[in-house]
Amino acid sequence: MLQAKHLYGLLDAGATENPDAPAFRYRNERLTYGDWRRLAERMSAVFAARGVGRGDVVTLLLPTTPLYQVAYLATSRLGAITTGINVRYRRTEIGHILQRSGARLVFGVDAFYGADFRGMIEALRPELPELRETLWVDAKEVTDGTAAVVEKLAGDLATPPPADVQPSDPVAIVFTSGTTGIPKGAWYAHENVLALAEIETRRYKSRRPPAAHLVTGVSFAHVGFMARAGIGLSHQTCTIIHDEFDPAAVLETIERERLSDIGGFPTQVVLLLDHPDCAKRDMSSVETVLLGGAPSTPALIRRVQETLKARVSVRYSSTEIGIGSASLPDDPPEILATTVGKPTSGVELRIVDDENRPLPTGEYGNVVVRSGATMRGYWRDEEATRKTIDEAGWIHTGDVGAVDEAGYVHLRGRQSEMYIRGGFNVYPSEIEDLLGKHPKVARAAIVGLPDDVHGEIGCAFVVPRKPDDPPTLAELRAWVGDSLASFKRPDRLTLLPELPATPMFKIDKRALKEIGLRG
């Protein structure tokens, strides 16, 4: 594992030690670690010429291509701070992130997915007094080749010397997905990103991390890339990039590249398993499937094990904590199906009550996490930071869980998703897990809605396994009532062809609540 005191130092060390190691494979482009360093140096000249220096914020509005990672490391080289915007976002989300981050420069594609980003941001300029520069590139040129775009921008600019970056300097601001509220910007220092890489490496013990990592359409603005960038850099991992999530293309890549480790959000894995090509492709190289970013149902875990004959790895993390817990290689199916593993070495995790007092083993309460890899706070939001990070440095995750006698973490759900029906607390996740086992249910989500009699009631949003034979509300109430308390049975049922998802492939509960409120 390579060592450095800041993020760009990892790239510099890797490019020096093994410049020909493959860094990116994207469409027809192949870039080495030596290429990555050279292009990051050239890109830093472009940013410096536009006044970017230590402590400034650069916002990247770029699709999932190597150019994003080149620009991220270029910003890091200058001692500046990167925040990303998912290209699926639109005016309100983009304006919010630019205002909250205080971006000095926006570097992005002028248009993508039919959106006129240049027009949007120009219209927002009166609301963005700190925005000094915008730098636009053509989306087709970006997807055609990173090197050509960077060289065209850099021209004959001289490469500036790297900044004297300190480990405690901010390097990234990662905005939350906003599935249940307004997005907040979790900021990480260089030392947090490096600590996360060290913690993750300990999970592998004697086993080297996978040589190739497949990215399948997820924005690089996600914490899985911004805060975890040091993992791949420290081990010189090659990133195979798909800028769109196409199940057929992903399955073809797994077969062709003989990938041993794959992963993704549960929604993505479901779509892979549902695709007709899954049974036709040779998936025998797959040893481990990592499920993270959102809760995984026991039914999905069993399906992965049975279909791919692979070991399932479950991870608990979030935008704020980077990494919390993970399953162990020898965990049996029943542990994988009911827990999110044990706290990772180097991470402290405990359960506390509403007064921040530790709770006994097995008792459910608020999950708090502390490590050197967590966020430092919410960018420019001291009030939210104080509510989330206590005086002892514990991150209050907003999740409800318990730790059993063996040290495994059991999650019940988000505090913000809990609803109170007739005075009883109801956590949607346990009902969703149960509904997922119903023979007529492909996918399900539960949302609490206001009710004059009970205060709140549970509405089940269900994707039927067979559209011509959907479940009825009576069937689902009976199914839930056989295993859980009567007040946890859904009171309403809405059938959907698919559950709405955020740009980060999480179920969009805000959208579901809006559907439910419309009746």
Q: What is the pTM of this model?
A: 0.85
pLDDT, one tens digit per residue, over 180-189 is 557 899 999 9
C-alpha to C-alpha distance for 106 and 71, rounded to whole angstroms: 11
pLDDT at position 210, please? Answer: 80
501: confidence class by pLDDT, cuts 50, 70, 90: confident
207: confidence class by pLDDT, cuts 50, 70, 90: low
Query: What secondary structure letter does DSSP report for 507?
Result: B
94 φ, ψ to 5°? Answer: -65, -45
Is the predicted pLDDT of residue 519 greater than 90, yes or no? Answer: no
Contact of 263 with 291, CB cutoff 8 Å: yes
pLDDT at position 178, please? Answer: 57
Closest CA to 413 of 387, 445, 390: 445
Tokens of 397: 């995750």
C-alpha to C-alpha distance for 278 and 250, rounded to whole angstroms: 10
C-alpha to C-alpha distance for 275 and 492, rounded to whole angstroms: 30
Contact of 47 with 94, CB cutoff 8 Å: no
Average pLDDT rounded to a whole number, residues 10-31:
96
382: confidence class by pLDDT, cuts 50, 70, 90: very high
C-alpha to C-alpha distance for 95 and 212, rounded to whole angstroms: 35
Average pLDDT rounded to a whole number, residues 489-515:
89
Average pLDDT rounded to a whole number, residues 16-39:
97
Average pLDDT rounded to a whole number, residues 378-405:
96
Tokens of 76: 């890091």
CA angle 405, 408, 410 (to 5 degrees): 105
Tokens of 364: 């459910």
Q: What is the CA radius of gyration of the chain?
A: 23
422 φ, ψ to 5°? Answer: 60, 35
3-state secondary structure of 314: strand
Tokens of 359: 């709770």
Contact of 416 with 399, CB cutoff 8 Å: no
Q: How many residues does the chain have?
A: 519
Q: Residue ranges of the domains in the chain?
A: 7-192, 418-518
Architecture label for domain 7-192 = 3-Layer(aba) Sandwich (3.40)
C-alpha to C-alpha distance for 397 and 323, rounded to whole angstroms: 12
Least confident residue range of 26-40, 141-155, 445-459: 445-459
Is the predicted pLDDT of residue 193 greater than 90, yes or no? Answer: yes
Strand ranges (E), 362-454: 365-370, 377-378, 395-403, 409-414, 419-421, 424-426, 441-451
C-alpha to C-alpha distance for 56 and 79, rounded to whole angstroms: 8
Strand ranges (E), 146-293: 170-175, 185-189, 212-216, 238-242, 261-264, 288-291
Closest CA to 313 of 223, 207, 226, 203: 203
pLDDT, one tens digit per residue, over 251-262 is 999 999 999 999
pLDDT, one tens digit per residue, over 70-117 is 999 999 999 999 999 999 888 888 999 999 999 999 999 999 988 999
On average, the pLDDT of the chain sits at: 92
Query: What secondary structure letter does DSSP report for 57?
Result: E
pLDDT at position 295, please? Answer: 64
Q: Sort strands 325-326 and 311-316 into parallel, antiparallel or unpaired.
A: antiparallel
34 φ, ψ to 5°? Answer: -65, -40
CATH: 3.30.300.30, 2.60.120.10, 3.40.1110.10, 1.10.760.10. Which one for 418-518? Answer: 3.30.300.30
Per-residue CA distances from 152 to 45, 143, 156, 178 (Å): 12, 14, 9, 36
C-alpha to C-alpha distance for 210 and 204, rounded to whole angstroms: 10
Per-residue CA distances from 356 to 41, 369, 417, 427 (Å): 47, 12, 20, 21
